[in-house]
Amino acid sequence: NADLLVAEGARLYNEKAFDQARDRFLKATRVTPGALPPYLSLARAYFALKDLERACLVYRVYVKNSPETPDREKAQGELDLCERQLAASGATLQLAQNNVSLKASFFEALDKGNLVGAGSAAELLASIVGVGYAAPDLGDMAAKLARAAELSAEASYQAALAHQKAGAADLRKAGALYLLALDCGSSPVKQAARAAFLEGLALLSEGRPFQAEISFEDAARRDPADVEARFYRGLAKYLSGDKTGALKTLEADLPADPRTSVLRVAVAMDGPAEGAAGALEKFLFSRKYKNVP
């Protein structure tokens, strides 16, 4: 909660615990990048810590984005003082240029669709956050990355459902993109469930059905309406050698799914011929008259 962080930061600032106050104010700007008051508090904390370059940068953010108010007028005076002290210090100014370079690299990676991994938009955004960048556009950058990550992940997920061939690495990358979208502020809907589902598919492709079953179970738990997660949980059980258990699972979870009927026939084929014939006849009859009321 940004308000609680600001209140805690103000208390620490008044107690002259400036480094702790800075951390609270910085977190508040991360929680609500569009709210301006935390930036002024953060600038003052930096100034109190003699971190003049960062103080000036954040003062500028506040002054640039704030409407004409007494607080803005006061902040302008504090910014002028900060800039005079910074100029007198003779310090080499690198933060602003570094921020510009990182942001340019971020948008370049985003445009190229390089979202995760080395040199990716996700890595660059983490670097931007890591150097203490604080400005309202940080929220826009995170939102754009979240949107791109979710679109890419969703395309891979739909391709997997359509049985388009994909390697374990590509499936895991898609799962990571779903989680990246969550980390960047995307509203949690089904991302975690689909990431678990894609991990299950990756494990199946590696011939690890026992572990895959656990991932599919996790996906089904996170999204009980996900029919595919429940089906693949049964399939993983079947591929691990527990054919009877797989059938029981699907009969309990998806009794009307035609794939359950197929599995019923497949399991029956391993038993007595009479039972197999009966199961096959029942399946064929159900398919022939499936649309008959």
pLDDT in tens, 86-117: 999 988 778 888 999 999 999 999 999 999 99
The model's pLDDT over 116-175, given as tens digits with 9 standing for 90+, comes to 999 999 999 999 999 889 999 999 999 999 999 999 999 999 999 998 999 999 999 999
Confidence (pLDDT) at 194: 95
d(C-alpha 215, C-alpha 193), whole Å? 9
d(C-alpha 57, C-alpha 36), whole Å? 14
d(C-alpha 293, C-alpha 289), whole Å? 9
CATH number attached to the domain at 2-93: 1.25.40.10
Q: What is the dihedral of CA 163, 240, 191, 26, to 10 degrees?
A: -130
**Reported CATH class of domain 139-243:** mainly alpha
Q: Do residues 234 and 262 make contact, with C-beta atoms less than 8 angstroms apart?
A: no
Which pTM value belongs to this model?
A: 0.81
Judged against a pLDDT cut of 60, whether residue 288 lies above it is answered with no
Judged against a pLDDT cut of 60, whether residue 281 lies above it is answered with no
Lowest mean pLDDT among 54-63, 175-184, 231-240, 265-274: 265-274
Confidence (pLDDT) at 266: 77
HEC readout, 8-44: HHHHHHHCCCHHHHHHHHHHHHHHCCCCCHHHHHHHH
Please give the mean pLDDT across all residues of the chain. 89
Length of the chain: 293
**24 — pLDDT class (breaks 50, 70, 90):** very high
The model's pLDDT over 208-228, given as tens digits with 9 standing for 90+, comes to 999 999 999 999 999 999 999
**282 — pLDDT class (breaks 50, 70, 90):** low
